[in-house]
Structure 1
């Protein structure tokens, strides 16, 4: 019995080659273009807030002749550094305490200021890392898993209502594709599976809706349930 001759290799059409090249170029250009667009937009937004506060004779366009985007960002950074440097000194601390005492006398302003101050001190604290672990928890029902970020061990009244042998851990469960919103959950430590991936890799996984998976750093090291924040 004779075998049929092999079919001749079909060459890809010109259109298929152009489409493949277009998709490859899109993969390269899209992240760069989106990054530049986001940075350009943020710089313009900061400029629109900062430059109107600068006296007209001191604005750069008076000397350059054009509106340089990003000057407001530079002014904001320099101003913030100067304020931080002054706040470390004796005079700066005295003025800051005097201002806070004045704010404490205003009922509504006091609540807003104290809340924002506490959030800023917690997020920007340099002494203790925040959201330094990614984990898996069962959500929204047993059997389903969700990626979350570990915050800290529960304290105060919340901790007193937990089992001493199985303390509650506060975790932040972000939403997809916007991880800035989400839910604060208090989960027993025994029900948390800590992941080896970092917070940035977990954030990429959430933002991409599961399309971007980080490469495992230690394939032989499985996820553990033993670690817990202090």
Structure 2
């Protein structure tokens, strides 16, 4: 029984990276399919009158899945190429201004845009990746500083820290932490994300655990 238990645990640990990879890829693939499927269905409806055979193929679930994912990837590529060009950047800026004028939509869209921008540029020239005390002073967890406030009464600097969960960084919680209680790391955002996704197994060799 001990050998059976040991072999099962060894097999689980050996397959865990593959299972997590399949899980993450599955989430991304489902998103791509869901985003591209309406366009595939619209094309199938448009060609049904003059090419029913083609429409029948387009309506097959397996074909919709593959084509929808391909169309979405192609659209993301074109969008990324356009936003990096000068003219595309201007058009995207105008689109942002339009979204900012739509009630309710502006709240959600603007919040997401600010979150993405906060990860692209560190506040006040400081490093973004930090350690915060959790769940007790002897233990710390990894977080990302998204904004730094100033207490209107005391003048103390307070940092808004997003603490992601592992291995799924899309869920987490927010903490307001005095800046002097943070431990600033010289990790990049990509290194920190690899650390979270890998459950701590993939990380830089350098680490400052105490106050810097």
State the TM-score bracket (shorter-chain normalisation). 0.5 to 0.7
Select 1:199's aligned residue among 187, 192, 195: 192
TM-score (norm 2): 0.62
Q: Unaligned regions of 5+ residues in structure 1, if any?
A: 1-14
Show the 5 A alignment for 1:148-163.
Answer: 148-151=142-145, 154-155=148-149, 157-158=150-151, 161-163=154-156
Of 162, 171, 174, 2:161 maps to: 171
The CA distance in 2 between the partners of 1:64 and 1:101, in whole Å, is: 40
1:106 aligns with 2:97: no
* Between structures 1 and 2, the one with greater helix share: 2
Contact kept, 8 Å, 1:148 with 1:171, in 2: the verdict is: no
Distance 2:97 2:204 in 1: 51
Paired with 1:196 and 1:99, the residues of 2 have a C-alpha distance of 35
Residues 170 and 185 in structure 1, CA contact (< 8 A), matched pair in contact too? yes
Q: 1:86 to 1:66 in 2, by over 3 A?
A: same
Within 5 A, what are the aligned runs for 1:34-73? 34-54=20-40, 55-56=43-44, 61-62=57-58, 66-67=62-63, 69-73=65-69
Matched-pair contact (CA < 8 Å) for 2:36–2:72: yes
Q: Is the 8 A contact 1:131 1:149 kept in 2?
A: no
Distance (whole Å) between structure 2 residues aligned to residue 86 and residue 215 of structure 1: 34
Computing the radius of gyration from Cα coordinates, the structure with the larger value is 1
Match of 1:217 in 2: 205
CA distance in 2: counterparts of 1:215 and 1:63, whole angstroms: 45
- Whole-angstrom CA distance in 2 between matches of 1:176 and 1:38: 12
CA RMSD of aligned residues (A): 4.4
Counterpart secondary structure, 1:184: strand
Residue correspondence of structure 1 range 68-147 to structure 2 within 5 A? 69-89=65-85, 91-93=87-89, 95-123=91-119, 125=120, 132-137=128-133, 139=134, 143=137, 145-147=139-141
Structure 2 residue runs without a partner (length 5+): 48-53
SS of the equivalent of 1:106 reads: coil
Q: Does 1:28 align with 2:14?
A: yes
